Amino acid sequence: IAGCSGGNDDTIVPGTNAAFAPFEYEEDGEIVGFDIDLAEEAIDRAGYEVGDWSDLKFSSLIPSLNNNDIDLIAAGMTINPDRKEQIAFTDPYWESNQSVLVQSDGDFQPEGESDLDGARVGAQKGTTGESETERLRNEGVIAEDALKRYNNYVLAVEDLEAGNVDAVVVDQPVANNFAAGRDVSVAFVIETGEQFGMGMRQDDDRIGDINDALAEIRDDGTYDDLVAEWFE
């Protein structure tokens, strides 16, 4: 049946990539975060059962959704034209730019894109952060072999701390979170003006119920409570 995972229309099975705190990450063997709470609340209020979370590579989320392995992506995923050809997005629930992280005490402290000349720059595979590094390469700012891709952002930041890469491009709130907990800091911000949405299959009519639930979650203050819980 189109639009169903495991043939069950009452359950929405969510998927994420749990290396993107505070939106989604692992704590004591559990997947937690802002997206997790927001998605569960929306699925529940829309009248569906929340299935078991799948933790997947970010680049596997869209194929897994279209394979019916999962029914909903909640992964800080930016709404963009390329993805909109493949999946449907809920109404936006977040806005973000990209931040450039460097070692806090390192010699390399770029103040803008042109200072990345000669730097090795990392990002997570399949992300808009990766697209920004590709743009910098296409513009000739960084070299072809200076672009490093990782399966997740935690690995990218660990490689930055180890000195194997000079900078990491990652969504602003996640960069701030890494900066608060690790030996990295934000050098500068690239104003991309992205919006995050949850992803569902293009033929899944349940997206209307999820959008109604998301609107209600905003209107009654639950959204602000979740922001306060995970970001402040």
Using an 8 Å Cβ cutoff, are 202 and 212 in contact?
Answer: no
Distance (Å) of CA 205 to CA 2, 44, 59, 90: 10, 16, 24, 11
- Exactly one of 22, 51, 76, 122 binds ligand GLN (CB under 6 A); which one? 76
Triad 147, 119, 130: Cα angle to 5°:
30
- 150-162 per-residue burial string, b: 16 or more CB within 10 A, e: under 16: bbbbbebbbbbbe
Stretch that binds ligand GLN, among 26-34, 121-129, 141-149, 176-184 (CB under 6 A): 121-129
Using an 8 Å Cβ cutoff, are 230 and 22 in contact?
Answer: yes
- Exactly one of 5, 124, 133, 172 binds ligand GLN (CB under 6 A); which one? 124
- Exactly one of 78, 99, 103, 172 binds ligand GLN (CB under 6 A); which one? 78
Distance (Å) of CA 165 to CA 31, 103, 128, 133, 138: 28, 10, 18, 13, 19
Binding mask 161-180 for ligand GLN (x = CB under 6 A): ----------x---------
Binding mask 175-204 for ligand GLN (x = CB under 6 A): -------------------x----------
| 39 is an interface residue for ligand GLN by CB under 6 A | no
- Exactly one of 25, 58, 93, 178 binds ligand GLN (CB under 6 A); which one? 58
**Chain position carrying tokens 């959204």:** 223
- What is the smallest separation between the CB atom of 118 and ligand GLN, expressed in angstroms? 26
- Which is nearer to ligand GLN, 134 or 216 (by Cβ)? 134
Stretch that binds ligand GLN, among 120-128, 176-184, 207-215, 221-229 (CB under 6 A): 120-128
Conformation bin of residue 103: beta by default, left when phi > 0, alpha when psi is -120 to 50: beta
Stretch that binds ligand GLN, among 42-50, 123-131, 155-163, 201-209 (CB under 6 A): 123-131
| 127 is an interface residue for ligand GLN by CB under 6 A | yes
Residues 6+ apart with CB under 8 A from 128: 78, 80, 98, 171, 192, 194
CA distance 54 to 124: 18
- What is the smallest separation between the CB atom of 221 and ligand GLN, expressed in angstroms? 26
| 17 is an interface residue for ligand GLN by CB under 6 A | yes
- Exactly one of 18, 75, 100, 142 binds ligand GLN (CB under 6 A); which one? 75
Using an 8 Å Cβ cutoff, are 167 and 101 in contact?
Answer: yes
Stretch that binds ligand GLN, among 76-84, 102-110, 180-188, 202-210 (CB under 6 A): 76-84
How deeply is 188 buried, as exposed, middle or buried, from its count of CB atoms within 10 A (0-12, 13-18, 19+)? middle
Measured in residues, the chain has a length of 232
Residue ranges binding ligand GLN (CB under 6 A): 17, 20, 58, 75-78, 124, 127-129, 153, 171, 194
